[in-house]
């Protein structure tokens, strides 16, 4: 099997696993405990926090560890909007191209909590433009949330420009950088954001751990209450070994980022070039240039995307689609729908995402096979 | 090694089918159909609830085989459900499972299986096949007669049967449960209900009322000698041979004899009028691929649960047969299948007109 779904998740780097191992059974203490078991665990968590802070160019006390990227998004949106509601700022700006961790949270905040959501339109590449943001912001806006890079279509948003528009109006800006962090610089000072979400398993760390950068002075209402862990913003005993793994994975990612980008980008360009050249009725989804260097995504007219994934799997290639659905219920994803594609295109989506272990040989054999499988998936539809 | 797709349901039979094939060293892939349900009733579909899908997925994981769900919602609604509604509109008691097996399972799903590189498709049906000297596949009853499902499989053409495998048909059900336990597979079977999957355990009449209210209108109840003795609530609400619930005051018990859709009349009569000496069946499939050239004596089964009874079957033009029973057969119902058996072999069958 050849794995071409690194945007879904990545294997844990062996060096990361090594860093984590001591914190399961040996240094197993609770970081909140007074004794030396606790002290050793606390030291591990705080050292991890420093590592993450240095990767993001922020202060350690601006890093909140969570259980995943989705939880980070939830804390950002719920935390900021609860506070916004109390201060006559009920408006939340976000787009339909966001990950469900953001869009479903926005929907729930609207339905049950009285938050007003304005859905920012995206352009044909799935991008939120500064003009759009400028038109949407108002005095009642508490928070805008726009992802750094889109998981389904790879498009990179002009986050620094968007954040600056919000900053001028005193509006908080959150970005979901879960998909971006593996390949893009997540320097929060450059981006100028107030909050930024990360998930460990997208960059060779473990699943089940994430982080939220919260700029000093940002007021959030915590949604998990209990002990005072994580500066009172996220109660619960810290997942020490996973936090250590998260930090080590992020450290390695920043350290090796340049090499990883240089490795995947030519392979990605080869995929995009050959698919568009060799497969009739194929379109790239997302932005042609401003996209993640490991990310190629397409729609094929009149093809059955779900079936195409099954054909690829049976042939030994693990890929994904915009409407990835293991239950065989083919509905185009909201992201694909937001691009304005008609149904005969939108149901035939395919995402190929590369990783540091992808090889030119793998891509070549994939590209040699793909045209015939797209044809098959069209014939059976 | 040949590649075999197994149509899985999450139940014990198809799970064991997959396990047996895997154990025999085949390259096995699990597949499951997602069928149509009325909006909001997806959780009650007898064949493909999220629960049964999760179960099938777990079995596939346990056996370490790939598992793919194939969406058949639209094609199922357009063919099988439409056939069901059309049948009732014609005054028949349609058997949509026959069409589902032919069009959905053994065409739509089989095509997907072949596209995925499968050489054969297996199901958890209780039936057997064997090959004769010429390479033709014969369809046989299951070893466990009480579980035999060869009746429903008579719709398979020779071409489909060349691709078909029924691994559990060689075992009694008790043995299948034992095998499931030995593989550590779930042993629960779906309730042996004959409910249609898309009815979601509800009375078919409610389904008709919601989805095709126009086809089921009140009309006259007539005796076989032409006297109008009451009103019926809609032909689809009655089955041939039905006695209870007619709402008739009569000194002798009356039964539904026929449903005359031409003038929306329910014809009732006494018990001795109930038998049919003969029937005509249409859309006959001959398992061997060729129709017999002359009339022949055989056993005929006119419902899934009926006993096979002796009769003479005369092939006619246009894929039809004329069946003469040795003794009048009760409950001959238009829309159900008449299936012909010689010994344990299924020769073919068709839809009762």
Closest alpha carbon to B31 in B50, B56, B54, B55: B56
Domain shared by A224 and A264, yes or no: no
Domain shared by A22 and A110, yes or no: yes
Domain shared by A186 and A49, yes or no: yes
CATH of B276-352, one of 2.40.50.140, 1.10.10.10, 2.40.30.10, 3.40.50.300: 2.40.30.10
> Is residue A20 a contact partner of residue A374, using CB atoms and an 8 Å limit?
no
Which chain B residue has the Cα nearest residue A315? B116
Average pLDDT in chain B: 92
Closest alpha carbon to A176 in A203, A151, A196: A196
Check pLDDT > 70 for residue A322.
Answer: no
Q: Predicted confidence band at B220 (pLDDT cuts at 50, 70, 90)?
A: very high
**Confidence (pLDDT) at A254:** 98
CATH number of the domain that residue A32 is part of: 3.40.640.10
Q: Does B115 touch chain A (CB under 8 A)?
A: yes
Q: Predicted confidence band at B186 (pLDDT cuts at 50, 70, 90)?
A: confident
Are B115 and A380 in contact (CB < 8 Å)? Answer: yes
Are A310 and B68 in contact (CB < 8 Å)? Answer: yes
Domain shared by A143 and A215, yes or no: yes
In the set A138, A166, A319, A325, the catalytic residue is: A325
Our answer to whether residue B197 is catalytic in this structure is: yes
How many C-beta atoms lie closer than 10 Å to residue B157's C-beta? 16
Is the pTM higher than 0.80? The answer reads yes
Query: Which of A253, A270, A289 is the last residue before a domain boundary?
Result: A253
Distance from CA of A310 to the nearest CA of B (A): 7
Rounded Cα distance, B307 and B329, in Å: 10
Distance from CA of B15 to the nearest CA of A (A): 18
Domain shared by A153 and A292, yes or no: no
**Confidence (pLDDT) at B264:** 93
In the set B47, B48, B97, B100, the catalytic residue is: B100
Domain shared by A155 and A47, yes or no: yes
Q: Which residues of A touch B69 (CB under 8 A)?
A: 326-328
Domain shared by A232 and A339, yes or no: no
- Please report which helix (H) or strand (E) contains residue B329, including its range: strand B320-329
ipTM: 0.82
Q: What's the DSSP call for residue B102?
A: I
Rounded Cα distance, B27 and B24, in Å: 9
Q: Which residues pair with B165 in a beta bridge?
A: B122
Rounded Cα distance, A235 and A224, in Å: 6
Fold type of domain B217-273 = SH3 type barrels. (2.30.30)
Q: What are phi and psi of B338, to 5 degrees?
A: -105, 120
Instruction: Provide the chain B residues 124-143 that lie in CB contact (below 8 A) with chain A.
Output: none
Interface mutation vs chain B, best among A1, A306, A310, most B CBs within 10 Å? A310
| Boundaries of every domain in chain B | 3-124+166-199, 217-273, 276-352
Domain shared by A93 and A240, yes or no: yes
**Confidence (pLDDT) at A317:** 98
Are A327 and B111 in contact (CB < 8 Å)? Answer: no
**Confidence (pLDDT) at A250:** 98
How many C-beta atoms lie closer than 10 Å to residue B244's C-beta? 7
Q: What is the pLDDT of residues A174-201, one digit of tens each?
A: 999 999 999 999 999 999 999 999 999 9
Q: How many domains does one find in chain A?
A: 2
Q: What is the pLDDT of residues B49-85, one digit of tens each?
A: 888 899 999 999 999 999 999 999 999 999 999 999 9
Range of the domain at A18: 14-253
Domain shared by A236 and A265, yes or no: no
Scan for tokens 């601006």, then name that residue.
A62
Instruction: Provide the chain A residues 284-343 that lie in CB contact (below 8 A) with chain B.
Output: 306-307, 310-311, 313-315, 326-330
> Is residue A216 a contact partner of residue A61, using CB atoms and an 8 Å limit?
yes
Which CATH architecture does the domain made up of B3-124+166-199 adopt?
Answer: 3-Layer(aba) Sandwich (3.40)
Are B115 and A315 in contact (CB < 8 Å)? Answer: no
Are B116 and A329 in contact (CB < 8 Å)? Answer: no
Which chain B residue has the Cα nearest residue A326? B69
Q: What is the pLDDT of residues B19-60, one digit of tens each?
A: 999 999 999 999 999 999 888 887 777 777 888 899 999 999
């Amino acid at each position: 099997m050849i794995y071409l779904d690194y945007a879904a998740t990545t294997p844990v780097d062996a060096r990361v696993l090594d860093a984590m191992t001591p914190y399961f059974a040996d240094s197993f203490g609770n970081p909140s405990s007074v004794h030396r078991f606790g002290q050793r665990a606390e030291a591990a968590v705080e050292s991890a926090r420093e590592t993450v802070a240095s990767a993001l160019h922020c202060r350690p006390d601006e890093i909140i560890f969570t259980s995943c990227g989705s939880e980070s998004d939830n804390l950002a949106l719920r935390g900021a909007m609860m506070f916004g509601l109390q201060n006559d700022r009920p408006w939340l700006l976000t787009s339909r191209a966001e990950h469900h961790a953001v869009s479903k949270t926005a929907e729930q905040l609207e339905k049950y909590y009285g938050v007003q959501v304005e859905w920012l339109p995206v352009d044909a590449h799935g991008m939120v433009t500064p003009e759009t943001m400028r038109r949407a912001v108002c005095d009642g806006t508490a928070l805008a949330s726009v992802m750094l890079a889109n998981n389904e279509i790879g498009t990179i948003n002009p986050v620094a420009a968007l954040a600056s528009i919000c900053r001028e109006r005193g509006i908080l800006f959150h970005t979901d950088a879960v998909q971006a962090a593996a390949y893009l610089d997540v320097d929060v000072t450059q981006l100028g954001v107030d909050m930024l979400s990360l998930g460990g398993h997208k960059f060779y760390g473990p699943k089940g751990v994430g982080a939220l950068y919260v700029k000093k002075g940002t007021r959030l209402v915590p949604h998990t209450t209990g002990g005072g862990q994580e500066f009172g913003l996220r109660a619960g005993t810290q997942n020490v070994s996973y936090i250590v793994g998260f930090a080590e994975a992020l450290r390695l990612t920043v350290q090796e980022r340049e090499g990883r980008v240089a490795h995947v980008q030519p392979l990605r360009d080869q995929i995009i070039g050959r698919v568009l050249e060799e497969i009739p009725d194929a379109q790239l989804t997302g932005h042609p240039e401003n996209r993640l260097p490991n990310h190629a995504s397409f729609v094929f007219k009149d093809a059955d995307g779900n079936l195409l994934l099954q054909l690829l799997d049976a042939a030994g290639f693990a890929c994904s689609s915009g409407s990835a659905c293991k239950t065989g219920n083919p509905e185009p994803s909201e992201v694909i729908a937001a691009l304005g594609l008609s149904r005969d295109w939108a149901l035939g989506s395919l995402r190929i995402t590369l990783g540091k272990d992808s090889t030119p040989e793998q891509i070549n054999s994939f590209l040699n096979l793909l045209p015939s499988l797209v044809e098959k998936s069209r014939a059976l539809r | 090694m040949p590649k075999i797709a197994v149509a899985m349901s999450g139940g014990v039979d198809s799970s064991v089918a997959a396990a047996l094939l895997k154990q025999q060293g085949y390259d096995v892939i699990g597949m499951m159909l997602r069928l149509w349900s009325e909006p909001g009733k997806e959780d009650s579909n007898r064949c493909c609830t999220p629960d049964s899908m999760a179960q099938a997925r777990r079995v596939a994981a346990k056996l370490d085989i790939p598992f793919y769900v194939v969406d058949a919602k639209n094609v199922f609604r357009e063919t099988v459900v439409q056939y069901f509604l059309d049948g009732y509109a014609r005054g028949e008691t349609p058997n949509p499972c026959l069409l589902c097996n032919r069009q959905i399972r053994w065409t739509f799903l089989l095509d997907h299986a072949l596209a995925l590189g499968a050489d054969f498709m297996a199901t958890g049906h209780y039936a057997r096949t064997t090959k004769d000297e010429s390479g033709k596949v014969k369809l046989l009853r299951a070893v466990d007669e009480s579980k035999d499902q060869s009746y429903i499989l008579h719709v398979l053409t020779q071409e489909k049967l060349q691709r078909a495998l029924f691994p559990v048909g060689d075992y009694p059900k008790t043995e299948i449960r034992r095998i499931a336990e030995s593989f550590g597979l779930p042993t629960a079977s779906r309730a042996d209900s004959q409910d249609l999957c898309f009815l979601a355990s509800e009375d078919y009449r409610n389904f008709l009322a919601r989805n095709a209210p126009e086809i089921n209108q009140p009309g006259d109840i007539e005796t076989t000698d032409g006297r109008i003795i009451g009103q019926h609530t809609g032909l689809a609400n009655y089955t041939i041979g039905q006695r209870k619930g007619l709402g008739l005051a009569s000194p002798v018990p009356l039964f539904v004899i026929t449903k005359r859709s031409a003038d929306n009349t329910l014809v009732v009569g006494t018990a001795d009028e109930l038998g049919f000496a003969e029937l005509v069946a249409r859309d006959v499939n001959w398992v061997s691929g060729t129709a017999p050239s002359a009339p022949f004596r055989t056993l005929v089964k006119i419902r899934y649960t009926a006993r096979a009874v002796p009769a003479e079957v005369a092939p006619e033009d246009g894929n039809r047969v004329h069946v003469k029973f040795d003794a009048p057969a009760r409950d001959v119902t238009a829309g159900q299948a008449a299936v012909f058996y010689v010994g344990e072999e299924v020769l073919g069958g068709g839809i009762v007109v």
